[in-house]
Structures are given as C-alpha cells and as structure tokens.
Structure 1
C-alpha cells in the first residue's frame, strides 16, 4: 500500500512539473509574456550551458556553487553539533530552557537582514558574518525540534528503565536519543531549508561569489535568464540535499513508521 502511494505521488509530481514547463513554454514562445521578464525555457537552458562553460562575472559556475554549498554545509554542521545538546538539555532542565529558549524565541522571528548588518559591523564583511547568519538560521529549527522531542517521550519508558537499574547514561543512549532522532532529522531538514533561503540574504551584501550572489547581481542588470538559472540550480540542489537527508534518516532511524 505504501509503495503504491509513493508511485502515485511521484506521477502527480511529474505531471505537475510537466504542466508548469508546458505553460511556461507556451506563454513565452507565443509572446504573451515579455522575455525580459520571463525568459523562455530554451533561453534558460542556453544560459545555463554558457555559464557552465564560461562562468559568470569571471568566476566559474562550480566555484559559485562550491562557495554557496560550503557556506551551507559549514553553518548547518555547526548548528547541528550545538543545537542538539542544547535542545536536549533544555528539554530536560527548566533553568537551561529558561535561558536558551528565550534567546532563540527572540531572534527566530526576526528577518535575517534585520541583524545581518550588525553581524557585519561586529564580525566584518568576510565569511565570518555570513556563516554566523546561516548558523543562527539553522540553529533554531534543530533546537526547537530537540526540545519538542524530549517533551514527547513517554515518561513510563524512563521510569521503567530506571526501575530496572539503568543509569542516566544508559537511559539517554537507549531511550532518549533513539526517541528524539525522528524529530531531530525533521528539524535538520527544516534547518537546511531555512539556511538555504537565508543564503541569498547572506550573499546580497559584501559578496563576490556564490549562487545567491549571482542571482542578486543578475537582478541589478535585469538578466532574467541568469536569475532563472540561479533559482533553478538552488531549487534542484535543495531537493537533492533533502533527498539525501531522507535517505540518511531511513538508515539511521530504520524503525520509524514500523509497528
């Protein structure tokens, strides 16, 4: 049943994107929409291969992509190794939650650009301010997922383990961590998505490379074909990263969804 559902969902997804491309093709080739606003699919494909061959603004496509992905990977990794322990501690201890949670809940709703200028003043215009911005964007979803996961653990499991003589370490590694892993992966996938959307903001100011910067720079000169290339590349790489995280989740949290 589950396999049939996945196949059905895949067909719907393929049908949706085929329809979108057909509508895009018809509206641009017939002149219903100006090519300066929305380039045709053929223009976008040609521009992509041109950037792939010659680069953009004197920088190769692979360098643009590598810079953006390295920023995303470093910041998300730092968020992962800090948010998980702090989130689990906050879920266990009220004083820790009172300190950390208040800070996270304060900055989480703020638009990235609202405090990015402050980060530039404090940390400079190099990679430090960009990585910090992406780190803050990725930290909150993982932290909140961990706090929620600890709160959802059945207390009977903990009491049963302690009554059987398990110490705190055993309880954590055999009950708490496995119980929290599904929500941690959900938080991680959300965090990567949020960090990726924030990447454009990070590359808007004082940057000279990156896919996000390429889109912003192209917008200044109304190069809609380059903008479409950058947006599509970011969307596709985002889907690939999410797919890889799903695969990793299936291997690590192999019991999820099983009776």
Structure 2
C-alpha cells in the first residue's frame, strides 16, 4: 500500500507540475491542438512522452527508495546498524531479582559477501567487549545481522540457570510475560513462549537484499550473466532460445489460424464446423495443456513450439474472423456493382479491411506466447529465461530472478512497439477508411 501511495502521489504531483507550470512547454502542436473538443476523442489522445519518462524514473526511484542502494536518491528509513543495549530482569524462585545488560551488535547482512582492498572476504564482527557485572545475572554481548533475529540465552553465563528456577520477568524495566514484546527505537525485544529473550533489529521501510536487491547489484549480476553464464548458458543464449520458441510458435499459429478465421467469416459451413472447436479451446489457458504436451511430445523443443502454436492459434482465428465480419457491407456491394469478382472482393476489400483486426490479434498473440513460453520453461526446459528464473529461485538468488524479469519485460515491450510500428507501416489506412 505504501508503494502504491507513493506512486499515485508522484503521478498526480508531476501531472500538476506539467499541466500548470510547464503547460506551454509540453503542449503539442498540430491538428489535434486545434480541436475545440477532445475529451472522449481517442484520435486526440496520444502518449505524452515526458510523462512516460517521468513514470519510468518514478518506478526506478521507488526501487532505490526501498533498498539499501548506494545511488544518491531519497530513500525511506533504513534498517538499524550498530550497537544497542537493553536490560533484562531475572527473578529467582524466592523472589530475588537482578538486572543485567545485553549488548547487541547489528551488522550488515551481506558483509560476508563483501571484499576488502586485498580481496579478502568480509568477516562477521566480534561481539562488543562488556564486563560481566555483579549479581547472579551477568551481562551478555552478541551479534545479529540486519533483518535478522536472535534468540538470547541469557542464562548461559548467569550464576543461576533457567532449570534452577531463574526466569526473565522484565525487559528494559517493563514487566513482560512469555510471548510478550517491548518495542525500542533500535528494534523489538520479546520473550518466546518458553520465556527466552529475543531481539529483532528494526528494519525500517527498506527491504533486505534477499527480497529486493538494489539496482547496482542487479546490474552487476546482469554483466556477470553475460560473461560467465548460468547453468551452462549465457543470458544472451537463454534469451535466444526463448525468442526462437515464441517466433516459431506464433508463426505457425498465424499461418494456420488466419486462413481458418477467413473461412469462418466467409462461409457458413466453415463457421459451423470450426466454431464449436474454437469456442471450446479458446477459454482453456495454454498452461493447462503443459502436462498433456509433455506426455505427447516430451520436454524438447517440439513440445514447446506446439504449446505456443496452440496459444497463438485460437487468438489468430478469432482475430481473422472478427476482421472479416467487421467489413462494412456497403463496401462489398459497391465492389460488386463495379463488376468485381469474388477473388477481387477478397483481395481488394476484405483482406485490406480485416488487416487491422488481424494485427491487433497478432499483438495479443505475441504477448500471450511470450508469457506462455516463460511459464512453460518453468516446468520443462533445460535452457531459457524461465528455466533460469526457476533455478535461481531454488537457491534464493533474487538478483538473477529480477534480471530475468527485467529482460522478459523489455523484450515484451519491444515486441509490442515493433508490432505497432509494423502495423503503422503496413496498414497506413487504418482508421481512415
């Protein structure tokens, strides 16, 4: 909810600035700027590229703000690091009490993954030096990683053990019982259900590297994946295999689906023959077919291409059928009145007017195929972006997972932009006739 709130605030804040203070700078020139009424007119609504840039920057800033990144951007409150001391009160069976201090040294959770100037790995810090103190309860000193949790056996060096009747009855002077906690600025001290003290450092609003690594860590992993590879393949090779599967599956789906869609839109027999099959298969998610595809075709390339073929097929059939059905009958009558043959009607009227719907279906089919191939690789593959992600998840390598997600998103975006450009180039008459 906090992320959503910050994103919404950034959206409205930048909108107000751009629309009020910089309105004249951002105004587009051209025919649409001369329209007196544009609200509700889709042709007058074009993407504001400045808003797109700000949106991407906002998402990047939120990423930085919620991590322990070194990038100099405003960040949310971070986790506590350093030394913190709190007291516990031990009580004996005869009612005698004694106070002792516990000093916790909180260190960076990734310190063992760092190296010094000589290339030596970082070492977990030593506990702070403390005097044991007087009384039967002795002072303790321990270490704990940020975002970590430590169970503190305070009786380890006490003169009276827990088995001998010593119990903790207060933390920082506040009476507590088993299962209760005391909040301090540096974290949370509490008692377990069996009465043993614990300490959890304050995490702030940032996330640990395990859950969300910083952008610079993801970038370094991206470079490493291209140089060293993962599971025997570089990132480029993982990407190439995934793209190859998508393009083959989509191509075969379009080659089969478009003619069937045209047939369904032009003849009642074809509509009656294919309609039950198409409407039955269309709602079935492609991923539901994975077990059957594996049984029939195995986990090799053929099975994945067949799965992607089925993912694209029904979409292309419906798009082609919709395109034919959407051709204005007045255009067909006009062509007949001029002496056009059925082949001329098909090639000069129906195909040109149905291409916009077919391209819309192709964009949807490519998106579905791209999402399906990644999911299919999660289940059955030896190489591919999906395989890389699922393998990394087993070893909690979140940075590799995020690299894979970013690559998938960028390629999906490029596919969509490329399909739009191809549509504008091949169908310049869209929306004009």
TM-score, normalised via structure 2 length? 0.57
- Point out the structure with the larger helix share: 1
Q: CA contact under 8 A between 1:204 and 1:213: conserved in structure 2?
A: yes
1:106 Cα shift? Answer: 1.6
- In structure 2, distance between residues paired with 1:250 and 1:51: 36
Matched, 1:141 2:141: no
Q: Deviations over 1:203-251 (max 9, x none)?
A: 1223110112111211122111111000100110111111111111111
Matched, 1:95 2:269: yes
The 3-state SS of whatever aligns with 2:378 is coil
Aligned match of 2:392:
218
Q: Kindly indicate whether structure 1 or structure 2 has the higher relative contact order, using CA contacts under 8 Å at least 6 residues apart.
A: 1
Aligned match of 1:24:
63
Q: CA contact under 8 A between 2:242 and 2:374: conserved in structure 1?
A: no
Q: CA contact under 8 A between 2:217 and 2:399: conserved in structure 1?
A: yes
Aligned match of 1:46:
220
Q: CA contact under 8 A between 1:218 and 1:226: conserved in structure 2?
A: yes
Aligned match of 2:175:
none
- Point out the structure with the larger strand share: 2
In structure 2, relative to structure 1, the CA distance for the partners of 1:206 and 1:184 (3 Å cut) is same
Matched, 1:12 2:186: no
In structure 2, relative to structure 1, the CA distance for the partners of 1:85 and 1:8 (3 Å cut) is closer
1:258 Cα shift? Answer: 3.5
Which is worse superposed, 178-187 or 30-39?
Answer: 30-39
The 3-state SS of whatever aligns with 2:429 is coil
1:46 Cα shift? Answer: 0.8
In structure 2, relative to structure 1, the CA distance for the partners of 1:258 and 1:156 (3 Å cut) is closer
- In structure 2, distance between residues paired with 1:8 and 1:201: 31
- In structure 1, distance between residues paired with 2:297 and 2:239: 24
Q: Match for 2:285 among 111, 134, 138?
A: 111
Q: Which runs of 5+ in 2 are unaligned?
A: 1-29, 34-43, 69-77, 80-205
TM-score, normalised via structure 1 length? 0.94
In structure 2, relative to structure 1, the CA distance for the partners of 1:81 and 1:2 (3 Å cut) is farther
1:24 Cα shift? Answer: 0.8
Q: Please, what is the CA RMSD of the aligned residues?
A: 1.8
Aligned match of 1:208:
382
Report the number of matched residues: 259
Q: Match for 1:173 among 347, 351, 368?
A: 347
In structure 2, relative to structure 1, the CA distance for the partners of 1:148 and 1:37 (3 Å cut) is same
Matched, 1:251 2:290: no
- In structure 2, distance between residues paired with 1:10 and 1:258: 25
In structure 2, relative to structure 1, the CA distance for the partners of 1:23 and 1:86 (3 Å cut) is same
In structure 2, relative to structure 1, the CA distance for the partners of 1:100 and 1:16 (3 Å cut) is same
* Higher gyration radius (CA): 2
Q: CA contact under 8 A between 1:80 and 1:139: conserved in structure 2?
A: yes
In structure 2, relative to structure 1, the CA distance for the partners of 1:2 and 1:133 (3 Å cut) is farther
- In structure 1, distance between residues paired with 2:54 and 2:274: 45
Q: Match for 2:324 among 146, 150, 168?
A: 150
- In structure 2, distance between residues paired with 1:21 and 1:223: 21
- In structure 2, distance between residues paired with 1:164 and 1:198: 47
Which is worse superposed, 45-54 or 3-12?
Answer: 3-12
In structure 2, relative to structure 1, the CA distance for the partners of 1:152 and 1:116 (3 Å cut) is same
1:105 Cα shift? Answer: 2.0
